Structure 1
Amino acid sequence: MATGSADSPATLYGPVSLVLGTVALIAAVFAGYIGIAIPFLFGSLAVTFALLGLARKLNRGQCAIGLTAGSLSVLYPIFLAAALSA
């Protein structure tokens, strides 16, 4: 029996940020229909989990993609609203 387990909840930061970032990016495309709350919330969570995963150096590729998708989904509706209001 193994004395230490390599599994910990921290290993899920990468996949969770990747999924939340992808869902947020898809929701940001449809922000005109569903509003900006869902992409902003999911994108913020994706960025948070990605930064936590990058700090622990676990699943760095998935965290980087989640960070990129999450930040794009947070910024896209903001830039869209700014462009349409001017």
Structure 2
Amino acid sequence: MTTGSADSPATLYGPVSLLLGVLALITAVFAGFLGIAIPFLFGSLAVTFALLGLARGLNRGQCAIGLTTGALSVLYPVFLVGALGI
């Protein structure tokens, strides 16, 4: 049960983090073609919005998925660069 209003802009933290996380994960797969800046930016924003949404307690499932996909998309290019030594 939430304590905040259902009309608050904070209710969009979950869907936005989920969308940014999925977009970041898709662009992380194509990091060789697109570069690592786009997945890193989208992933960082997804993690930020997910943490804000989890702190507010709204749309916790969507925030958790956004946090996971955002973190994976940030870490994947970093490990890729580290592994290949580029």
Place the TM-score, normalised by the shorter chain, in its bin: over 0.9
Query: Structure 1 residue 6: deviation in Å?
Result: 2.1
Q: How many residues align?
A: 82
What is residue 61 of structure 1 aligned with on the other side?
Answer: 61
Residue 21, structure 1, aligned to residue 18, structure 2: no
Partner of 1:74: 74
What TM-score, normalized by structure 1, do the two folds share? 0.93
CA distance in 2, matches of 1:44, 1:56: 19
Q: Give a deviation string over 1:20-76, Cα, whole Å, max 9, x none.
A: 000000000000000000000000000000000000000000000000000000000
Alpha-carbon RMSD across the aligned residues, in angstroms, is: 1.1
Normalised by the length of structure 2, the TM-score is 0.93
Superposed structure 1 runs of 4+ greater than 6 Å apart = none
Identity percentage of aligned residues: 83
Q: Where does the alignment leave 5 or more consecutive residues of structure 1 unmatched?
A: none
Alignment of structure 1 residues 1-40 onto 2, 5 Å: 6-40=6-40
